A and B are shown apart, each in its own frame.
Chain A
């Protein structure tokens, strides 16, 4: 749509609301029941990098208002989900971000999205469960329902080492639970579905969300495009449902064309049996790692030479 490299997309919520409305409209016209607002980097920590940390309320409210308008005139029920991305900081004690500051930042963004009319808050691409839990606490303060997904991009786990099974367990212990949870982004569609299968195996009480990328990014003549075709995303959507996901969407590289193919697949193809890992790789390609840490077949540490301390 013409965003310059490095500019904060959230600025367009006030500078080019027409383009943001068009972006949302594309998803709605393609048959989406739910779309995310243009606020992924709309927390104080991310906006600070553009010296806009004082504009959290304004930018989030504007994004949700545009979404509300698009949804309300669609003539059907379309959910405006207020997107909340990670702070980008590493949480204490390893990093600098304390729980209190994380909650405060997420809360500030949540209030902006709420004020703009978002139906639900949607935190995603989280790698540390501590940050996920901080978002949950903030959303409770804002008194808003929420959903939340993590990204499993490192040997089938999140960057911080969380497995699909760990996430199910940890979500189950949250005081203020989401309406649904699952996985988004990460590597390819195959890995994402392996994660969803892992979550389904752990028999969660809440609906699962699957939001995979449209293939992987490829470089062509100075531009990047994702190599996942609409046909591949249609197969992905069908498999995601068979894996047990209730909310199915597309992350990076997903265009209205992909969404149309996904919607059509979900409406026209019958629900099938739960796929095996082999079924997934046969349809969508190989996994990025042999194990995802849930099967006990992953690599293990070599024997220690020193003595173990108490």
Chain B
């Protein structure tokens, strides 16, 4: 790289800097993202604005290209890692300023199932979209999900399964939520390789999400509906 190619982030105006950050997120450049976040904060941007306009904005492009089969898991992991770098700077600032949260998700692989790559990817993409994510890991029984939903005051429950033998357990969790009168309090999203939309409907989930990018879009749509309902009610 010659000196002529060097990009000095601090020399860019806000608009060009955000555009550059979109590209740097896309390319998974963590240090550049951290630098960009610090510059915007230094220029007086609200932390929430940095999160939504620069980071979430950039990750939306990554998510869309992942959904469309332009980017694949390795690139998405790098982008999520860069986003994480930026988030680490913003998180304490967001807490201080009492900025609104985008939504909170409890996520975990169902009982009997130990597969977690897809679930981890959804968690990362959800964080990339600004959601708070509580990851329960693998092999979760119904009580674990319900305790976490209550304790975390979550908005969304995400369940994952890779095995045809474990996916019916999702219905056990949903049925228990119904029995306890809690089903309407949460958005329930399900995913995993052997699932499909038909299955999601059959077990009473709000939506089946084909991949991590779809999970993010679906979560956003349902959160907007939830907010509308809350303000209408």
Contacts and interface: CB of A to CB of B under 8 A. Distances in A.
Interface in B72-112: 72-75, 77-78, 111-112
Nearest to A159: B73
A157 B23 contact: no
A158 to B, nearest CB: 8
B204 to A, nearest CB: 12
Contacts of A282: none
Please report whether the interface of chain B is mostly helix, strand, loop or mixed according to DSSP: loop
Q: Which 8 A-B pairs have the closest CB atoms?
A: A6-B112, A310-B1, A161-B72, A155-B69, A306-B20, A224-B164, A305-B19, A5-B112
Interface in A223-246: 223-224, 226
B147 interface: no
A279 to B, nearest CB: 23
23 contacts: A5-B111, A5-B168, A5-B169, A6-B114, A6-B165, A49-B114, A88-B116, A90-B117, A94-B74, A154-B73, A156-B69, A157-B69, A160-B72, A161-B72, A161-B75, A216-B196, A219-B202, A224-B164, A289-B69, A305-B19, A306-B22, A307-B20, A307-B23
B78 A94 contact: yes
Interface in B157-199: 163-169, 171, 193-194, 196, 198-199
Nearest to B203: A219
A111 interface: no
Please report whether the interface of chain A is mostly helix, strand, loop or mixed according to DSSP: loop
Interface string A1-18: 001111100000000000
Interface string A207-226: 00000000011110011101
A304 interface: yes
A299 B68 contact: yes
Nearest to B4: A310
Interface of A: 3-7, 46, 49-50, 88, 90, 94-95, 127-128, 153-161, 216-219, 222-224, 226, 252, 289, 291, 293, 298-302, 304-310
Nearest to B111: A6
Given A5-B169, A160-B72, A301-B65, A310 B19 contact: no
Interface centre among A3, A6, A298, A299 (most CB of B within 10 A): A6
A154 B69 contact: yes
A305 B22 CA distance: 8
A310 B78 contact: no
B44 to A, nearest CB: 22
Nearest to A290: B69
A155 B72 CA distance: 10
Interface string B116-146: 1100000000000000000000110000000
Contacts of B155: none
B226 interface: no
B74 A161 contact: yes
Contact of A6 (B2, B5, B19, B166): B166
Contact of B73 (A4, A49, A161, A252): A161
A25 B65 CA distance: 46
Contacts of B19: 305-306
A157 B72 contact: yes
Contacts of B6: 310
Nearest to B61: A302
A159 B16 CA distance: 33
B69 A298 contact: yes
A180 to B, nearest CB: 25
Contacts of B34: none
Given A88-B117, A155-B69, A216-B196, A6 B74 contact: no
